[in-house]
Amino acid sequence: MTSRMVGEAVKRVEDPRLLVGAGRFLDDLGQDAAELAVLRSPHAHARITDIDVTAALEVQGLLAIYTYEDLTGPLADPLPLLIPHPAISAGRTQYALAKDEVNYVGEAIAVVVAENRYLAEDAVERIVVSYRPLTPVVGVQAARAADHLVHEDAPGNVAAHFVQEVGDAAAAIAAAPFRLELELAIERSASTPLEGRGVLAQWDSDSQRLRMWTSTQTSTGVRAAVAAKLGLDLGRVEVITPDVGGGFGVKIVHPWPEEVLVPMAARALGRAVKFTEDRREHFISAAHERGQLQQIEVGFDATGRILGLSVRFWHDNGAYLPYGLIVPIITSTQLLGPYKPGAYRVEFDSLYTNTVIVTPYRGAGRPQGVYAMERTLDAIASELGLDRSEVRATNFIQPSEMPYDHGLIFQDGRPLVYDSGDFPATLAKLKALVGWDDWPAYQAAARAQGRQVGLGLACYVEGTGVGPYEGGHVQIETSGRVKVATGLTSQGQGHQTAFAQIVADELGVSMDDIEVVTGDTRRFPYAVGTFASRAAVTSGSAIALAARMARRKVLKVAADALEANPEDLEIVEGMVRVKGAPGVAMSLGTVAVLSNPLRYAFDEASKAATQFVVGDSDLPPVNEDDEPGLEGRDYYSPLRSTFANGMHAVIVETDPETAEIKILRYCVVHDCGTLINPLIVEGQVHGGVAQGVGGALYERIVYDDAGQLQNASFMDFLMPYVSEVPESIEIDHLETPSPLNPLGIKGAGEAGVIPSAAVFASAISDAEGFAITAMPISPSDLFELRRRHAGTDGHNESIAKKEPTR
């Protein structure tokens, strides 16, 4: 019997190719293509009064310059607002090239196409733009104050105002025996994939077809958008994703201006055109996330049970709103985590600022929500003098309450209903893993040595696998090899491995004989994209269903040939055989030959399917309810999201002198249902934790008051090196299958990053004895906080200590 592949820690089949440098990323393609460079706004807010390209025209090798005036038809309209929502009162999106006004430093004003990027940049330098500067709005506070407006027709800088409420939170809080109020802040960060954005397009004037490659998380989304913008039938546009060097959310936004301008130029110039984003461009013209201010009111009883929770927050959505309200809606709903809040009210404003757009970055609003909830639970524990883990346990939804309906609407427009999860078991595993009960003794012993150590805890629930759907196609070739295609894209998730594991089990073939293609609209044109921890759930399920369809066909064809009942057949290592009689067997390749009735033999094996060899002469060669070939194509469309969960603990040490923050241990317990590949899931957790360390302790997006980004490089945007990430991340799994899909799986892609701000704030608070209410935190920030809490301005003051609370 072939051993089961799902659940095995199979090494990624992608890695050998990528590790030896044989990956092919966007900029590896199109070596002969003309190159495009973008003139970007140096002002955060200005009217454009004139654009003079005269001097640029002298650059040798220049092919074309485009400004807004050159855009026609749908290209002259604003880029789409991808996800409309009724609460959006002023939905504004940018033009592919700025029309009259710019609203952030980095906004595209003109593009130049030249023989190469050097010459294109020479021409960009020579374009003279005249501006009338306007006052920029930078930061949530300035947006709220609304002394100046980003968009004249968006009063108060409000893009949307949204309220959800279950029960009467104000009354519940007022009636509660204990009450607390918190004010919290969390700053911007960014996805920062190592490969930036990039687009290559070729126009074939003979067939009037466009073929483009783009570094995206949704090739079908780009295809639809480009077809619409360029006025082409979908059938004339092919979009292919090569290897993609990371996405983390920023590449789900589409179409980027360059994604429509590159194909436009390729068609106009009749030659291949390429745009490869550089790092500075990525920082100032792609997308950021995370920035919010939060006000929380909570009422609770003496056991720490929350009776009423009211959250008001202000979300900085940047200059435009292409991705709608997804981030703040996720914050407002996923904030609840594994807890029952009693009555709950959440109200947010999504606000315009003259900064780069804010769209989902791994975690997508959850890190902010978890931070709000977990800081609140720590505050309750501190107020009541209770163990922090006990306060959490008191508020948990119990396994017996699943499925649990929060009475809210989630980001997919569907009810927020948790499908499964065992939160008390997850917490018990985490406490055992980190040694929770031994902590007070350890902390006291360390303190006696003059060391400051702190333990943090944070819990989250993540809605994964959102719809609307994904599809899968499985085809068994006459060689016996299996070709699998799904439309969503890959940017490092290990889909080629995980999906092959699924198909190996469903079809009884070796993984070596399975080839998986993703993100190529020629192979699978119906798809949504890779985001929201959805690929394994949606495409994995669809591929499993497609493989089952192919398997049924295999058994039917083989049953005819072997004169057996389909129920009596099994597939083992690529051979279809009669159960209990392994001698009566044929290879999948032979079954594939027989599945396609032939007039012409093209090789020895195919003779078996020709007209004088097979077939019942009383029936047509292909029956009415049948079709030639061994294929299955199926779709999986979830009723709603499936909810994974996890809990993290971190132990930090803060230097009493330098305020440096060192990670001593990082522990994760994670439940994403059935594990397809534990190695890949742990890799996802490691990567997420690494990004979380960055977001909590290192990275921040720093704008000055003029809206100039102060750290648009990896020298000053402190993405952690391997030296900043914990050497080992201790992981334990729980597998609570989802009842919503055929494999019982839940998404795992974002999990690792979600509780980071919360868990580090908790640990540093524990080490320092005062509450951390703004994240990320640097040693300099911690130094200043120590001074504030010590109530002095000297630099050698002692640090006031409260008794630590657990």
Partner 1 sequence: MKPSAFDYRRPEQLDEAIDLLGELGPDAKVLAGGQSLVPLLSMRLVAPKHLLDINRIAQLDFVSCGADGVRVGALARHAVLERDAGARAVQPLLAAALAMVAHPTIRNRGTTVGSIVHADPAAEMPAVLCLLGGSITATSTSGRRTIGASDFFLGPLESALQEGELAVEAFFPALPPQSGTAFAEISRRHGDYAVCGVAGLVTLDDDLRISVARAGYLSVSPTPLVLDLTDAVSGRTFDGDLSAAGDFASAAVDPEPDIHASADYRRHLVGVLTNRVIVGAAQRAAREIMANGARQALPMPGAQP
Q: Which one, 70 or 724, has the nearer CB to partner 1?
A: 724
CB-CB contact of 284 with 356 (8 Å): yes
CB of 215 to partner 1, least distance (A): 17
Number of continuous H segments (helices) and E segments (strands) in the chain: 18, 29
Going through 481-587 in order, the beta strands assigned E by DSSP cover 482-486, 514-518, 569-572, 575-578, 581-587
Q: Which one, 183 or 278, has the nearer CB to partner 1?
A: 278
Q: What is the 3-state secondary structure (H, E, C) of 117-130?
A: HHHHHHHHHHCEEE
**Nearest Cα to Cα of residue 192 among 685, 691, 776, 532:** 691
Q: Which one, 177 or 794, has the nearer CB to partner 1?
A: 794
**Nearest Cα to Cα of residue 318 among 283, 363, 276, 367:** 283
Q: Which one, 55 or 432, has the nearer CB to partner 1?
A: 55
Cα 446 from Cα 454, distance rounded (Å) = 10
| CA atoms within 13 A of residue 709's CA, in its CB half-sphere | 32
Rounded to the nearest angstrom, the gap between the alpha carbon of residue 223 and the centroid of all alpha carbons in its chain is 20
Q: Which one, 3 or 723, has the nearer CB to partner 1?
A: 723
CB of 655 to partner 1, least distance (A): 9
Rounded to the nearest angstrom, the gap between the alpha carbon of residue 569 and the centroid of all alpha carbons in its chain is 42
Cα 611 from Cα 500, distance rounded (Å) = 35
Tokens 């640097």 sit on residue: 778
CB-CB contact of 466 with 536 (8 Å): no
Q: Which one, 279 or 340, has the nearer CB to partner 1?
A: 279
Q: Which one, 63 or 159, has the nearer CB to partner 1?
A: 63
Please name the residues in contact with 631: beta carbons below 8 A apart, sequence gap of 6 or more.
473, 474, 475, 476, 549, 550, 553
Q: Which 3 state secondary structure label does DSSP give 53? A: coil
CB of 198 to partner 1, least distance (A): 13
Cα 524 from Cα 166, distance rounded (Å) = 42
Q: Which one, 120 or 609, has the nearer CB to partner 1?
A: 120
The identity of residue 112, as a single letter, is V
Q: Which one, 278 or 437, has the nearer CB to partner 1?
A: 278
CB of 727 to partner 1, least distance (A): 13
CB of 245 to partner 1, least distance (A): 17
Pairing of strands 128-133, 46-52: antiparallel
CB of 723 to partner 1, least distance (A): 4
Cα 741 from Cα 673, distance rounded (Å) = 11
Cα 568 from Cα 585, distance rounded (Å) = 12
End-to-end Cα separation, the chain, in angstroms? 52
Q: Which one, 737 or 779, has the nearer CB to partner 1?
A: 779
Cα 776 from Cα 186, distance rounded (Å) = 7
CB of 687 to partner 1, least distance (A): 18
Structure tokens at 648: 């993290």
Structure tokens at 624: 């009415």
- Secondary element (H or E) of residue 183: strand 178-186
CB of 27 to partner 1, least distance (A): 12
- How would you label 146-182 residue by residue, b for 16+ Cβ within 10 Å and e otherwise? beebbbeebebbbbbebebebbebeebbeebeeebeb
Please name the residues in contact with 470: beta carbons below 8 A apart, sequence gap of 6 or more.
486, 487, 488, 527, 528, 534, 535, 538, 539, 541, 542, 635, 636
Q: Which one, 20 or 715, has the nearer CB to partner 1?
A: 715
For partner 1, the binding residues (CB under 8 A) are: 117-118, 121-122, 125, 278-280, 657-660, 698, 700, 702, 710-711, 715-716, 718, 720-721, 723-724, 778-780, 783-784, 787, 795-796
| CA atoms within 13 A of residue 416's CA, in its CB half-sphere | 24
- Secondary element (H or E) of residue 204: strand 198-204
CB of 393 to partner 1, least distance (A): 37
CB-CB contact of 776 with 661 (8 Å): no
Q: Which one, 50 or 657, has the nearer CB to partner 1?
A: 657
Cα 345 from Cα 308, distance rounded (Å) = 8
Q: What is the 3-state secondary structure (H, E, C) of 360-373?
A: CCCCCCHHHHHHHH
Cα 794 from Cα 98, distance rounded (Å) = 50
Strand partners, 709: 703
Q: Which one, 470 or 781, has the nearer CB to partner 1?
A: 781
- Secondary element (H or E) of residue 110: strand 108-114
